[in-house]
Structure 1
Amino acid sequence: MKVISKEEITSNFSMKETMDSIESFYANKESEFISPDRMHIEDGENTALLMPAFYGDYYSTKLAGVAPENKNAGKDTIHGLMVLNDRKTMEPLFLCDAIAITALRTGALGGLGIKYLAKADAETLGIIGTGTQGWSHLESALAARDIKHVHIYNRTEEKAHQFKAKAETRFPQVTFTVSSVEELAVKSDIIVTTTTSTTPVLPELNDTDWKGKLIVGVGSFRPSMQEISDQVLRIADEVFVDARSALHESGDMIQAGHLRSDLENSWDLEKIITENESPQDLEEKTIVYKSVGAAIFDLVVVQSIYEKLYK
């Protein structure tokens, strides 16, 4: 069994490759997959997740723990391990750090939402939350659109400035600004929320101020969490999800279900990719895309890494 570190994954597999692997999976899917809803075990504010999936020649399991208060101790919110097995023999093939897989997978899902749902000339990005997922969505947004300016907001302003300094070194062609959440919302074409907040992090604006924007929500994965405001959920012209499980796992989508009657007709990522049809008149619309992830996406990513490095 091969064992690989987080650093080896991030240095050998890019966000663009991750997006391509998930897109290719749906575009060229040769057989059905098994990907049950992940098991949530809640322990106070912490959540343990068990995520198995089967596809093609492989079986994978991700064991992850989410501890929102870790940010106060300067630690990653998510920890875990990912195992890839031979589906026929069940022999373990590959063991790796789940944080790197989760960051790549989640960023890629958000990036594919941006690729298909954001207006083509989007140039400004707003990131709310500067943890691992904030960084991965910076990478994926830059892969999906020609982003020229990024607004950054974090509840702890010092962390926003640290994120800005790191981003300026990595992406010198892009301008970065630490902004208020109101300025970020008004000035950004694409807004990504990456927090575990239980109350909406988007500000109240005039309804017309949300037109032409794509809101990508990726932080809320429990029913008690909600990042996207009731205002945006109510006025959104179209709502999309990465997987149908988002409709009952995320507080954002549960609340959206209370506010609108069309939610069950929302397209998921598979239909978005296979139909290859983006919404029309995006300059005049408010679009919401909610991503919670699913085990099949982790399997696709870890399989791609394994096959690139060892086959």
Structure 2
Amino acid sequence: MQNLLDAAMTAARLPYPALAEEIRRLLADASVQVPERLVQPLAGGGSLFVMPACDSRIAIAKLITFTPANAGSGRAAIQGDVAVFDVATGARIGLLDGPTVTARRTAAVSLLAAQHLAPSAAGPLLVVGAGAQGRAHVEAFAQGLGVREVAIASRSAASAQALSAHARTLGLAARVVEDPHAALADCPLVVTCTPANAVVLRARPRDDAFIAAVGAFTPAMVELDAGMCRDMAQRGRVVVDTRDAQHEAGDLIQAGLDVSSFPTLGEVLRDAAPAGRGPVLFKSCGWAGWDLAAARLAVRQGEAG
């Protein structure tokens, strides 16, 4: 594996369908160890994330900053790297672009969840939030689910138009919508990937809706209205990415729901229980295990190349 990979090289090693499959394999790997991440608040509202993980072959440490104030400034909100080490020798064998890994593994987790949980996986897809995560989710759902139509909502009209234009380069029928609540009636697939500083969805979703909410990863952050979360828990099913959601899933915590009662993605995949009726809410908060899966795939792709 080439030791230092920039954003483009990192992306080339992490095709979305293969990454979703690697995440599924990681969830079944008993050698995986993922301690709780360290989140250090920074002056000005930013955060420093230190996220280690390992399996029997490689160890990783993701070191990134998250700076919400960079939105609209031309500077990336997420910056940093993922260092990859060989467990047997201790040698560093790779350095991946942190923002690229974060965007692609988050979208791949949503893709994996949608592949197994979405009642109507063909779309159309509604994406609320037109930043890096919005772009990654459009790409992932197009490649992994065959979605051909996407509606995009964003507080920034320029960002929404830019993502819509990108979606059209992928061969998708794309449109910008001003009211995401109205678009819920037409879209069984939904992704919310905003800065999570305010509610962006509150309308009642379709009975066959699958919503991946990825923006909120602290108890104070929120994208989905509390009543909407309670309604989906009552009418359908709520699944969280990991047990860490118990103290991170702001949408569910603020809705007063017992987060510990909801199954994790890994538990759902292991149990292979038949899908129930009603809408599905997949709450994703992030986990260093997803970064480890990306590193595993990148290493294997490098060895094959």
Smaller-chain TM-score bracket: over 0.9
Q: Deviations over 1:201-251 (max 9, x none)?
A: 103x3x4x4422111100111222100111211111211011111221131
Letter in 2 for 1:187: D
Moved over 6 A (4+): none
Q: What is the deviation of 1:23?
A: 1.3
In 1, Cα distance between equivalents of 2:144 and 2:95 = 30
In 2, Cα distance between equivalents of 1:126 and 1:42 = 32
Q: What is the deviation of 1:123?
A: 2.1
Count of matched residue positions in the alignment of Structure 1 and Structure 2: 298
Q: Who is 1:267 aligned against? A: 263
Gaps of 5+ in 1: none
In 2, Cα distance between equivalents of 1:210 and 1:123 = 12
Q: Does the CA contact (< 8 Å) of 1:126 and 1:192 recur in 2?
A: yes
Q: How do 1:6-25 residues align onto structure 2 when only pairs under 5 Å count?
A: 6-25=7-26
Query: Normalized against structure 2, the TM-score is what?
Result: 0.92
Q: Who is 1:215 aligned against? A: 211
Letter in 1 for 2:174: F
Q: Who is 2:301 aligned against? A: 308
Q: Who is 2:283 aligned against? A: 290
SS state at 1:219 partner: coil
Q: Who is 1:74 aligned against? A: 74
Letter in 2 for 1:76: A
Q: What is the deviation of 1:194?
A: 0.4
Q: How do 1:1-311 residues align onto structure 2 when only pairs under 5 Å count?
A: 2-27=3-28, 29=29, 31-43=30-42, 44-169=44-169, 171-172=170-171, 174-180=172-178, 181-203=180-202, 205=203, 207=204, 209-236=205-232, 237-256=236-255, 258=256, 260-261=257-258, 263-281=259-277, 285-310=278-303
**Percent identity, aligned pairs only?**
25
In 1, Cα distance between equivalents of 2:65 and 2:240 = 23
Gaps of 5+ in 2: none
Letter in 2 for 1:26: L
Query: Normalized against structure 1, the TM-score is what?
Result: 0.90
Q: Does the CA contact (< 8 Å) of 1:153 and 1:184 recur in 2?
A: no
**CA gap 1:96/1:148 in 2 versus in 1, 3 angstroms:** closer
Q: What is the deviation of 1:103?
A: 1.3
In 2, Cα distance between equivalents of 1:32 and 1:310 = 21
Letter in 1 for 2:73: A
In 2, Cα distance between equivalents of 1:185 and 1:120 = 13
Q: Does the CA contact (< 8 Å) of 2:32 and 2:54 recur in 1?
A: yes
In 2, Cα distance between equivalents of 1:100 and 1:251 = 24
Residues 59-68 or 146-155, more deviating: 146-155
